[in-house]
Structures are given as C-alpha cells and as structure tokens.
C-alpha cells in the first residue's frame, strides 16, 4: 500500500474507476496537500469580493440568478396586468403546467435518458413548462425541453459513448501542476455537436413563448449555487450565446478536480473579470426553483388551472450498496464522498417535496431501483449505461410507477 501522496494519486489515476464514485476528490486533495504553491494553473482575474454579487454577463442581464435566494423578478409579476402576463407567457398562461427536474449522477444519467424516451413511447409524455438540470441532468435538460424530436440525441449520448470518447486523462505531471486530472475537450466537442444553431433557435423560441430551461452550476469563488436561464441566453441575440450555453452545460457537469472548471466572463463596474464555475452537484443535486421562492404566487398570477405536475428524476439509487472498504485513504475518501452525495440527494428530494406541498404541486419522483446490479467497470461504461438506459425505457414505456413522496414517508 503506497504511503507517499503522489504515489497514491498516481495509483488512483491509473485505476479503471479513476473518475467514479468520488475518487476524484481524494486524488485532488492529496495533490493539493503535496503541491501547495505550485504554478501551472491558468492565470485568472476573479471578481473582487465586494463586487461578486453585482457581476453580470455582458449584454445578457437576465442570464442567471442565485440558487439560494428568491429572484427579484417574482415581485415584478404582481405589477403586471393579466393581459401583459398573457402576452409575456403565451405557452404557460392559463394552461396546465408540467415541470421536470433532472438530477446529477454521471453515467447514471442513462436512466433518466431511457425513462424520457420510454415515456415518449408510452404516448403520455407531456410538454414541459419548465425543465431544470444539474450535472449529467444539464446534458439531458435541453433535449428533454425541446421534446421527443431529440430523443435520438439522448440515446446516442448515453448508449454509444465510453470514457475515452468523453474525457482524456492528463499526463501525471500536467495533472499535478494544473487544475484537473482530465481534459474535457472531447466532451465539449460532443456538446457542440448536438447543441446546434437549430437547437439554440428552438430554445429561444420556446423561451419567448413563456417556457423556461434552467441548468445549475456552482460559483466556486463564492461557493454558491447559480441557476442559468438558457432560454434567455439563447433569445439574447448575442453572437456568443451558443458558446455560452455549451460552456454552461459543460460547467454543470465539471466535477471539481477531475474535470477543469469553466470560466465565465462577467463585468462589474465597467471592469471585466472571470468567474470559476464547476459541477452544480457540489451545491445541490436537483432543483425546481430557488430556495424560499413562493411558487404558489407565480402559478396564481399565471392563472394555472388545477395542480401543476412536478416530475423529479433522481439519476441514482436511494439505497447505498454494500462495499468492504479498504483501509486506505483514497478508498475511504471516495466512499465518504459517495455517501455524502447520496444523502445530499435524498435531502434535496425532501426539500422539493416540502416546496411542492407548500405550493400545491403534484409531486412525482423517479429513481434507479435497488435491484439494478450491473457492475460499473469504468467511469463511463457503455455496457452499464446501456443496461441502465434500457431499464429506464422499459419502466416508462410500461407506465412509470412514480413515487408521490420521498423515501421513508408514507403516501397520503
């Protein structure tokens, strides 16, 4: 068993599961402890602390909101007349609402992809008024938002790729002196391949009609969740909008330490700075709208008939698998982080449930069944993902058994 941190990291990086189950964190921590003060990471100009909450994306002031506080625009709805709201939200004013929230989960996103496509095959999948995504959910969200026309993209992404198609392991010295263990140029290229100008135009059109598409990242400088309005960005007409959307999808799925962070250019008081954004799952695993937001007030102003339906796809099992953990730091750290992510996800499901109860939403939860036991042999194992995709597809095609309460609660 190696005791030197660098040797331990090298062994960790050579393991077939080097990016999975939280192992990236232990490697990063060991590298950081050993290489404090090393040069090599990209130079940057972070937003000063006193300006951090004022910074905006140039030319797109409605690009994002904080995920941990109500947005300012909710109060503005009260000042609008019914006719103004009807003109602003023609696709959602006075009509039934369906919301979809897709969680993180890495390769387990194959389950959500299969579920959505099986739902299409069942003929009961609705058009979603709002779609949100975190991490792997952010890669699914735009195509779920645009409907079954893009089901083939979800099939391609989650059943026809392996680790080597999505990420490239960096040389040991480069990783030690840089900002991550892997390079995500391949994943960025894959996103660009599917998020075409046509996709951007369709997202913009849906936004103008009053539907909403959000993805979440974590602003690492402030350690706060950020919710990005991809529809507003697409509809901005800015020449950089398409690249920004692709970058934000990548940022939402960029595991800190394993994948490099994504830098977003912003402005504050006439000066240009950059923000460091990473995997939205470091802040929350799944979300519908910001914490503390009175959604019941929103639906009342939009005159939504009946109860809005909220569908939450948790791309993970809820029960932990047994593992005899070796008494070695990377194994202990990796298992601990996996436990943290799992329990954080359960907590988020309870948070969404309490919000749904308060706001009179119909709560529907999907998650990977405990019976699924195909082994994961690499970070993005095509055999594992295909099996998980097929399971989600079959369950949805047969009529998905949505849970109406989080785990541990009795249905009312």
The 10s digit of each residue's pLDDT in 134-156 is 999 999 999 999 999 999 999 99
What is the average per-residue pLDDT within 308-320?
Answer: 94
**What's the farthest any 2 CA atoms get from each other in the chain?**
70
Instruction: Examine the pLDDT at 8 and tell me if it is beyond 50.
Output: no
* pLDDT for 110: 98
Give residue 113's pLDDT band: very low, low, confident or very high (50, 70, 90): very high
* Arithmetic mean of pLDDT over the chain: 88
Quick one: CA dihedral 13, 21, 276, 199, positive or negative? Answer: positive
Backbone angles phi and psi of 133, in degrees to 5: -145, 145
Higher per-residue pLDDT: 320 or 267: 267
Whether residue 31 contacts residue 23, with contact meaning beta carbons closer than 8 Å, is answered with no
Going by C-alpha positions, the residue among 274, 176, 182 that lies closest to residue 220 is: 274
pLDDT for 294 equals: 86
CA distance 105 to 384: 13
- The C-alpha angle 303, 304, 307, rounded to 5 degrees, equals 140
pLDDT at 412 over 80: no
Comparing 88-92, 189-193, 318-322, 329-333, which segment has the lowest mean pLDDT? Answer: 329-333
Alpha helices, DSSP H, located in 235-328: 241-252, 295-301
Residues 266-276 have a mean pLDDT of 97
179-188, 260-269, 351-360: which has the minimum mean pLDDT? 179-188
Residue 121, pLDDT score:
98
What average pLDDT does this structure show over 234-261?
94
For residue 96, the tally of other CB atoms under 10 A from its CB is: 14
Q: Mapping DSSP to helix (H, G, I), strand (E, B) and coil, where does residue 213 land?
A: strand
Per-residue pLDDT, averaged over 88-114, amounts to 96
| pLDDT for position 221 | 95
Asked if residue 55 lies in contact with residue 266, where contact means CB atoms within 8 angstroms, the answer is yes
Per-residue pLDDT tens digits for 348-379: 999 999 999 999 999 999 999 999 999 999 98
Q: By the 8 A CB rule, do 102 and 313 touch?
A: yes
Position 165 confidence tier, pLDDT thresholds 50, 70, 90: very high
- Give the residue, 411 or 67, on which the prediction is more confident: 67
- Tokens matching residue 29: 């921590």
Lowest mean pLDDT among 47-61, 163-177, 368-382, 385-399: 163-177
Q: Please, which pLDDT band fits residue 34 given cuts at 50, 70 and 90?
A: very low
Q: What is the pLDDT of residue 73?
A: 78
Q: Check pLDDT > 80 for residue 291.
A: no
Percent of the chain at pLDDT > 90 equals 71
300 or 30: whose pLDDT is higher?
A: 300
Q: Across the strands, what pairs with 182?
A: 169
* CB 286, CB 102: distance < 8 Å: yes
Helices (H), 169-316: 172-177, 185-194, 197-208, 230-234, 241-252, 295-301
Residue pair 307/301 in contact (Cβ under 8 Å)? The answer is no
Query: Residue 71: which pLDDT band, with cuts at 50, 70 and 90?
Result: confident
Region of poorest pLDDT, from 39-43, 75-79, 120-124, 346-350: 39-43
Residue 244: φ, ψ to 5°:
-65, -45
Question: Where residue 2 falls among pLDDT bands split at 50, 70, 90?
Answer: very low
Quick one: pLDDT at residue 290?
Answer: 84
Average pLDDT of 398-402?
98
| Residue 170 or 214, more confident | 214
């Amino acid at each position: 068993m190696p005791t030197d941190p660098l040797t331990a990291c090298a062994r960790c990086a050579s393991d077939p599961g080097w990016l999975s189950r939280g192992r990236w964190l232990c490697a990063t921590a060991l590298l950081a402890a050993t290489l404090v003060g090393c040069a090599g990471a990209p130079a940057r100009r972070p937003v000063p602390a006193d300006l951090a909450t004022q910074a905006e994306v140039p030319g797109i002031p409605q690009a994002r909101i904080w995920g941990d506080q109500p947005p300012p625009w909710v109060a503005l709805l009260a000042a609008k007349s019914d006719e103004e709201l009807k003109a602003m939200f023609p696709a959602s004013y006075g009509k039934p609402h369906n919301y979809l929230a897709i969680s993180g989960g890495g390769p387990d996103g194959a389950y959500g992809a299969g579920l959505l496509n099986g739902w299409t095959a069942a003929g009961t999948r609705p058009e979603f008024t709002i779609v949100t995504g975190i991490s792997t959910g952010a890669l699914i969200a735009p195509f779920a938002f645009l409907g079954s026309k893009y089901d083939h993209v979800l099939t391609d992404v989650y059943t026809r790729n392996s680790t080597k198609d999505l990420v490239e392991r960096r040389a040991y010295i480069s990783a030690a002196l840089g900002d991550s263990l892997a390079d995500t140029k391949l994943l960025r290229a894959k996103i660009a391949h599917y998020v075409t100008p046509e996709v951007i135009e369709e997202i913009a059109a849906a936004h103008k009609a009053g539907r909403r598409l959000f993805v979440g990242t974590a602003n690492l400088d402030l350690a706060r969740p950020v919710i990005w309005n991809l529809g507003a960005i697409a509809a901005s007409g800015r020449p950089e909008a398409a690249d920004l959307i692709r970058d934000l999808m990548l940022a939402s799925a960029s595991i800190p330490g394993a994948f490099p962070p994504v830098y977003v250019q912003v402005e504050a008081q006439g000066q240009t700075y950059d923000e460091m954004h990473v995997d939205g799952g470091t802040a929350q695993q799944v979300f519908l709208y910001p914490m503390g937001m009175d959604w019941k007030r929103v639906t009342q102003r939009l005159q939504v008939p009946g109860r809005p339906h909220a569908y939450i796809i948790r791309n993970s099992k809820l029960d932990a698998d047994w593992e005899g953990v070796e008494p070695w730091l990377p194994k202990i750290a990796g298992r601990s982080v996996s436990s943290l992510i799992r329990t954080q996800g359960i907590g988020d499901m309870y948070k969404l449930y309490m919000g749904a109860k308060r706001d009179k939403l119909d709560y529907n939860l999907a998650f990977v069944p405990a019976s699924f036991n195909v082994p994961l042999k690499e970070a993005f194992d095509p055999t594992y993902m295909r099996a998980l995709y097929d399971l989600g597809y079959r369950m949805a095609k047969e009529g998905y058994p949505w849970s109406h309460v989080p785990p541990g609660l009795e249905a009312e």
